[in-house]
Amino acid sequence: MALDEATTAFLTEAAKAGGPGLHEMSPQQAREMNAGLDGLFGAGPDLESVHDVEIEGKDGAFPARVFRPEGARGVFVYLHGGGWVVGTLSGFDTLCRQLADRTGMTVVLVEYRKAPEHRFPTALEDGWAALEWVDARRGELADGGELVVGGDSAGGNLAAALTQRVARDGGPQIDFQVLVYPVTDADFATDSYLDPQNATMLNREAMEMFWDHYVPDRDQRTDPGAAPLHGDVDGVPPALVLLAEHDVLRSEGAAYAEKLRAAGVEVTEHVVPGQMHGFFTFPNVLPGAAQGMDLVAEALARRQG
């Protein structure tokens, strides 16, 4: 189906503002543009507590925000999207408040360090440090429950890579993964990349730019830490995979879901119709965001019984 009316209206208004395309922006310009969207989302629900922390990474510190609902059970480590280049705690505050409220889990939003100042594998190492930080404080963060890792786009890429690392090398036990239109490969010639209907919020040129910032060495782009589709998924936890119908990343997300199924991993996959890349991260703006949140909350509720 075509893009839904709300998305079409949003893109029409955005086009009226003019300006360069995302792929024509410097990292700083992209960050400023992205920050300008924060005011659209409104306030998220009140929670028992919300506070910021600093986590020590492999060679430096980075911030995270902890969202704890009343009676928290389980912890959800959320790695945000933004092409490994953009994204802040404030930009995902409303989303993570909703996520904590709807799931009853403490959500730890990780603001890993960004490219091009911090290239691969810094973001992945920061995600690993965040997992270890959470695992050491499980009793403080929630009253029992599972450990879930997830994220959208570049954050979904990091979440998938982290679950593979745990399955391969050991580490904090991850019980479930939530992958929202994840980046899983650096192949710009898939069916969804080649479909012109999908060049909406994100297009091929923008993704090429993000990869150039994050993994400029093309020989590294098949490293499973950068491209999980090339990794070993034996032993990774069950997954919820949410994809957007009109998204250049849809094919690689679907390919990763199939790779998981072929390895015997339990997978629930949804292609949300009428949606573009980024729909999940527009709470209170796009109806698709509420639909996506429903799917995540329902999947986690089934696990909690």
What does each of the 305 residues of the chain score in pLDDT, given as a tens digit?
A: 689 999 999 999 888 888 889 999 999 999 999 999 999 999 999 999 999 999 999 999 999 999 999 999 999 999 999 999 999 999 999 999 999 999 999 999 999 999 999 999 999 999 999 999 999 999 999 999 999 999 999 999 999 999 999 999 999 999 999 999 999 999 999 999 999 999 998 999 999 999 999 999 999 999 999 999 999 999 999 999 999 999 999 999 999 999 999 999 999 999 999 999 999 999 999 999 999 999 999 999 999 87
Write down the pTM of the prediction: 0.98
| pLDDT attached to residue 99 | 98
| pLDDT attached to residue 304 | 85
- The answer to whether the beta carbons of residues 277 and 248 sit under 8 Å apart is yes
Sign of the Cα pseudo-torsion (2, 151, 295, 165, in order): positive
Instruction: Give the Å distances, CA to CA, from 267 to 168, 236, 241, 262, 299.
Output: 19, 11, 7, 10, 11
| pLDDT attached to residue 13 | 87
| pLDDT attached to residue 267 | 98
Does residue 231 lie within any of the structural domains?
A: yes
Domain that holds residue 40: 5-15+34-304
- The answer to whether the beta carbons of residues 283 and 12 sit under 8 Å apart is no
Does residue 164 lie within any of the structural domains?
A: yes
Number of domains within the chain: 1
| pLDDT attached to residue 193 | 98
| pLDDT attached to residue 256 | 99
Of 221, 228, 261, 111, the residue nearest 161 (C-alpha): 228
Does residue 23 lie within any of the structural domains?
A: no
**Residue 232: in which H helix or E strand, if any?**
none
| pLDDT attached to residue 244 | 98
Sign of the Cα pseudo-torsion (301, 180, 169, 235, in order): positive
**Residue 42: in which H helix or E strand, if any?**
none
- CATH of residue 55's domain is 3.40.50.1820
| pLDDT attached to residue 128 | 98
Position 238, amino acid: P
Q: Which residues pair with 268 in a beta bridge?
A: 240
Sort residue 201 into left (φ over 0), alpha (ψ -120 to 50) or beta: alpha
What CA–CA distance (Å, rounded) separates 254 from 185?
A: 11
- The answer to whether the beta carbons of residues 260 and 234 sit under 8 Å apart is no
What CA–CA distance (Å, rounded) separates 220 from 23?
A: 22
| pLDDT attached to residue 14 | 84
How many other CB atoms are there within 10 angstroms of residue 214's CB atom?
26
Q: What angle do CA 266, 270, 273 make, to 5 degrees?
A: 175
Does residue 48 lie within any of the structural domains?
A: yes
Does residue 22 lie within any of the structural domains?
A: no
Which sequence positions are flagged as catalytic?
153, 247, 277
